[in-house]
Structure 1
Amino acid sequence: MAYWKHESAIVDEGAELGEGTKVWHFAHVSPGAKIGARCALGQGVYVGNDVQIGDNVRIQNNVSVYDAVTLEDDVFCGPSMVFTNVYNPRAAVARKNEYRRTLIRQGATLGANCTIVCGNTVGRYAFVGAGAVVQKDIPDFALVVGVPARRIGWMSRFGERLELPLQGYAETTCLHTGDRYLLRGDSCELVEVGKDKQ
């Protein structure tokens, strides 16, 4: 077995887990789940059937990753953050055929207790602050906070706030990595990967 699980965790037959992945206390991985290498699933995590998780993903305690959610490589899910998959749920109305797909792109951070409403995409290396409620797509490198979530800045791959305006034309360099970022309008992009200064 390439992965490790705590004796209290349940990994259903048919689930795929990559080498070095760890499944901690009272977690449950459903049979259709596909999880990459070197991931960590904290206490009380649930992973549904129609879920794809990349490599090096960190899912902190008490997070449920429901069907129709995809997490790319290097995603961080903070404690007790929430995914949904039905936009207008009712206990008495079956809507399993109406799931809306949610995509969390590479390197994104989802802060503690935030909520990602289904059907949206969180961009590469975006940063969703603790307690925020995401109701629309979030651009790459965006820093969003609040209810509903609104963009208040930009974040580097290193996880530090970039010295850029909310929109316009500007560029800056990450002091930690030397990565160079360019803001065009209301879109931020990594234009040059620097030599790692760590």
Structure 2
Amino acid sequence: MTKPKSNEIFIHPLADVQTTDIGKQTRIWQFSSIMENVKIGVNCNISSHTFIENNVIIGNNVTIKSGVFLWDGLIIEDNVFIGPNVTFTNDKYPRSKQYLDSYQKTVIQHGASIGANATILGGLIIGSNSLIGAGSVVTKHIASSELWVGNPAKFVRNL
């Protein structure tokens, strides 16, 4: 993977990117679909096969791996890693053809890392520099600099 030169933004020709609010040196790969009101910071890497809904904010130096869908109400702060196939939710009681006026807000604070295939329920805060193990199901707020793993995710230790 090559880093864009100087201030270039790289958008793969097979990506559908409707937002223009994209920071310098950000890379967006094939088969990504990004809606109009998304905000993306500087030097991010958005891997292939991702979807980012309208009301999402992504900070600087964020990596989003393949197979991740980011739904309305999600805020990802700077220096966050989202592993492949991480699942986010934003509706506590989803029903077909029933649409909410507002969705749960979820915040992934700076420096947090979320392992592959983890599930993050809506309305939670994942603390700064915390680590969520692969395959974990997070059902409660995670404090800063903590390691959580399992289903449901449980506290393991401070980092």
Query: Cα offset for 1:65?
Result: 0.7
Which residue in the other structure is 1:72 paired with? 77
Instruction: Give 1:138's aligned amino acid.
Output: I
Q: 5+ unaligned residues in a row in structure 1: which ranges?
A: 156-198
**Using a 3 Å threshold, how does the CA distance of structure 1 residues 15 and 118 change in structure 2: closer, same or farther?**
farther
Q: 5+ unaligned residues in a row in structure 2: which ranges?
A: 1-6
Q: Which one scores higher on RCO, CA 8 angstroms, separation ≥ 6? A: 2
Aligned residues: 153
Indicate which of 5, 10, 13 corresponds to 2:11.
5
Aligned CA-pair RMSD: 1.2
Superposed, 1:149-188 pairs within 5 Å as 149-155=153-159
Q: Secondary structure at the match of 2:93?
A: coil
* Structure 1 runs (4+) greater than 2 angstroms displaced: none
The question of whether the paired residues in 2 share the 8 Å contact of 1:10 and 1:28 is answered with: yes
Indicate which of 49, 69, 81 corresponds to 1:44.
49
Aligned-residue sequence identity (percent) comes to 36
TM-score normalised according to structure 1 size? 0.75
Larger Rg: 1
Q: Secondary structure at the match of 1:61?
A: coil
Task: Note if 1:141 corresponds to 2:141.
Answer: no
Instruction: Give 1:68's aligned amino acid.
Output: G
Task: Note if 1:20 corresponds to 2:25.
Answer: yes
Q: Secondary structure at the match of 2:141?
A: coil
Query: Cα offset for 1:25?
Result: 1.1
TM-score normalised according to structure 2 size? 0.93
Which residue in the other structure is 1:119 paired with? 123
Which residue in the other structure is 2:65 paired with? 60
